[in-house]
Amino acid sequence: MTHNVTVGIDGSAPSAAAAEWAAREAGRLGLPLRMIHVAGTEADALERDLGGGAALPGRVADICDRVAAELPELDVTCEVQPGHPAFTLAAASGRAELLVLGSRGLGGFTGLLIGSVGLRTAGRSLCPVVLVRSEADGHDALDGDAAGDVVVGVESDRPADAVLEFAFRYAADHGVGLRAVESRTTSHDTYTTRAPVEQAEIREAMAAAEQLRLEDALAVRREKYPQVRTAAEVCPWSAGRALVEASRGASLVVLGRRTAKHPLTGPHLGPVAQSVLHHAHAPVAVVPHD
């Protein structure tokens, strides 16, 4: 199987930002860069809306030429494939180490930072997907701070090895720190006990136990990547809000996506992933795991 970094391009500003991000990662990983433009149903409709088919391929060619000129040492291929963009790109992920997409395409609504193609592809991809924003999205720090920490969402009671491995490896390769964020929203609950213990003391003890559990979930990766400065944070906010806030100034936000265990379940992204993808201030990686 030929491994590469694959990026979907449609000529839009977000896809150009994704191509540049993917090219840097491909060069760092020593892998070829495969650029795919899907000329499927959505692209056909867009071409008709624009009054012709010449503009879109021209913009795609400009992106390919610019990436090849800026990184002449990189093995770059640019191809056109038929089909539905989400399904075609998800199929291409089977041969990729990493799949990179823009936040939204030319046909997207400006109020939605992640378009339907990005959401559908991220829900189906066989490899990690990174969604990259551009200044066209009107968001601060859209493509992340290159020196910022990696932020990874963690469920300490069932940590996903593939997600933690991806986050720690990315942080180690880029020489940045890592913030592991877990949401716990029980701080205002009332607890019943016969012991003469105040509610505040109970909450403090539970918070300490949650912090220790998160630290334990990170222990194996901390030992494997001792060079990565790591912070473990248990946050009283919802998971979506906690990760969006933590994304400010981050170089990358890493989320997990559980793969479907039943053929009728189908691929999908949960509400936390969708919230973060729509509102994060940095590129977001979605890592599939069992």
CATH superfamily, region 5-137:
HUPs (3.40.50.620)
Of 140, 102, 99, nearest to 248 by C-alpha is: 140
Domain coordinates of the chain in residue numbers?
A: 5-137, 150-285
Rounded to two decimals, what is the model's pTM?
0.85
- Could you tell me the two tokens for 55? 């503009």
* Residue 42 parent element (H or E): helix 41-49
* Residue 210 parent element (H or E): helix 199-224
DSSP state of 251: S
CATH dotted code for 150-285: 3.40.50.620
State phi, psi for 102 to the nearest 5 degrees. -80, 160
* pLDDT given at position 194: 62
The residues, ordered by sequence, that sit 6+ positions from 224 with a Cβ below 8 Å of its Cβ are 168
* pLDDT given at position 224: 98
Does residue 183 contact residue 237 with C-beta atoms inside 8 Å?
yes
Give me the torsion for CA of 2, 6, 11, 16, rounded to 10°.
Answer: -130
Strands 284-289 vs 129-132: parallel, antiparallel or unpaired: antiparallel
Helix, coil or strand: residue 22: helix
CA 78 from centroid of its chain's CA atoms: 23
In sequence order, what DSSP letters do the residues of 227-239 get, joined into one string? Answer: TS-EEEEEESS-H
In sequence order, what DSSP letters do the residues of 105-160 get, joined into one string? Answer: -TTS-TT-SS-HHHHHHHHH-SS-EEEE--GGG--TTTT--TTSPEEEE--TTS--
* pLDDT given at position 234: 94
150-285: same fold as 5-137? yes
The residues, ordered by sequence, that sit 6+ positions from 79 with a Cβ below 8 Å of its Cβ are 34, 35, 36, 37
- Could you tell me the two tokens for 196? 């003469």
Residues of the chain with pLDDT under 70: 1-2, 40-57, 104-114, 135-146, 185-203, 260-267
